[in-house]
Amino acid sequence: MTPEIKPSPAATTNNEIQRHKQGGPSVATAVTLIYVPLHLGGSHRGVSMGPAAMKVAEVAEKIEKIGFRVAREIDINVPHSVCWWDKHSTAKCVPEIAEVSQEVADAVEGALASGTIPITIGGDHSLAIGSIAGVSNHFRKLNQKFGLIWFDAHGDINTPDTSESGNVHGMPFAVALGHGDPRLVDLCGFSPKVDAKKSVLIGIRAIDAPEREIITSTGISAFTMRDIDHLGLGRVTDLALAAVGNDISGLHVSFDIDAIDPQVAPGVSTPSRGGLSYRESHLALELLAETGLVCSIDIVELNPAKDTRNKTAELAAGLILSALGQNIL
């Protein structure tokens, strides 16, 4: 059943969403690329090759062509020896994912502190535990708020108590909201990492029954593919921006490539039919970029083992350009 959409009064017309056209880089003119070959959140090991595929797609060179400087490229180490189960949790690989998450958080926070836009490239979506922690710690120290826009076919909002698989890549949204294994939830020493009322989930179409309850109870704004079909992606993006409000200092965009239909993006670990089109994906990110608020980006779940001629990596590189504000004119 599709959740009822309750836009705020401020979102009744498109004109009430305040944007400005960008001629090039906006908030920052430099980026930090953070490569995270993380596969521990799920059972699809090919996803660890995602960062390498993005390098083959020349993501750094393409970013520089639109006027940004790549200030730094960071490769995050992922442990080879893993603990698939431990006595403290039904979730898999929690100690190793916590270790990687802290390293990612430090890299993201450092990138923001240096005035660059961190772009975290995966790797499975459990890397968002670290990236969001880093963003949150940055804005917390400044006593500022930020919003979270999460694109995904799945909710990624399970907990160890609700997950049948124990795969942490199905839990990072819940962790950011303060639910889950304390070793992940309490990263950087505080929780939650983001306000549920400033969090939006877009593109969902494959949701577990417990996730429906969690989505409803947490108070996040969620837009299914049915909502997108009915309202259009532009309207949904407007509503998403209205939901996070105008009192934020930045937007973290976490984009799971399986939000896109697998006919367009075949190189993902968990494809789900009926997703976003090529143009819808770019449109959403272009509209977010026009706000001038996008301060950090995740691109996750690229699996070259399931791709065709690096097609999905090329698409992912293009999505990053749209999120950074590349315009047709």
Look up the CATH number of the domain holding residue 28. Answer: 3.40.800.10
pLDDT digits (tens, 9 = 90+) for 139-169: 999 999 999 999 999 999 999 999 988 899 9
Residue in 13, 176, 183 with CA at minimum distance from that of residue 83: 183
Q: Cα(145)–Cα(136) distance, rounded to whole angstroms?
A: 8
Is residue 176 one of the residues assigned to a domain?
Answer: yes
Is residue 285 one of the residues assigned to a domain?
Answer: yes
Is the pLDDT at 190 greater than 90, yes or no? Answer: yes
Scanning the structure block, which residue is given the tokens 């939000």? 259
Q: Which residues does 237 contact at the CB level (< 8 Å), separation at least 6?
A: 202, 283, 284, 287, 288
Q: Which two tokens stand for residue 104?
A: 């990612």
Q: Which two tokens stand for residue 273?
A: 């039919």
Is residue 14 one of the residues assigned to a domain?
Answer: no
Is residue 35 one of the residues assigned to a domain?
Answer: yes
pLDDT computed for residue 84 by the predictor = 62
Q: Provide φ and ψ at 202, rounded to 5°.
A: -125, 135
Is residue 317 one of the residues assigned to a domain?
Answer: yes
- Please, are residues 131 and 183 in contact by the beta-carbon 8 Å criterion? no
- The band of 75, judged by pLDDT with boundaries at 50, 70 and 90, is very high
Q: Cα(1)–Cα(14) distance, rounded to whole angstroms?
A: 27
Give kind and range of the element (H or E) at residue 237. Answer: helix 233-244
pLDDT computed for residue 8 by the predictor = 33
Is residue 86 one of the residues assigned to a domain?
Answer: yes
Is residue 217 one of the residues assigned to a domain?
Answer: yes
pLDDT computed for residue 44 by the predictor = 81
Of residues 5 and 246, the one with the higher pLDDT is 246
Percent above pLDDT 70 for the chain: 89
- What's the CA angle centered on 287, arms 275 and 105, to 5 degrees? 80
Q: Cα(225)–Cα(41) distance, rounded to whole angstroms?
A: 25
Q: Cα(227)–Cα(146) distance, rounded to whole angstroms?
A: 25
pLDDT computed for residue 85 by the predictor = 64
Give kind and range of the element (H or E) at residue 83. Answer: none
Give me the active site residues, please: 125, 152, 154, 156, 169, 256, 258, 301
Give kind and range of the element (H or E) at residue 208. Answer: none
pLDDT computed for residue 43 by the predictor = 83
Is the pLDDT at 18 greater than 60, yes or no? Answer: no
Is residue 2 one of the residues assigned to a domain?
Answer: no
- Please, are residues 101 and 129 in contact by the beta-carbon 8 Å criterion? yes
Helix 233-244 to helix 278-290 angle, to the nearest 10 degrees?
A: 40
pLDDT digits (tens, 9 = 90+) for 35-45: 999 999 998 88
pLDDT computed for residue 249 by the predictor = 97
Is the pLDDT at 279 greater than 80, yes or no? Answer: yes
Q: Which of 78-82, 215-219, 285-289 has the highest mean pLDDT?
A: 285-289
Number of domains in the chain: 1
Query: Residue 211 sits in which domain range?
Result: 21-323
Is the pLDDT at 322 greater than 50, yes or no? Answer: yes
Q: What's the average model confidence in pLDDT over 41-55?
A: 93
Scanning the structure block, which residue is given the tokens 């509503």? 239
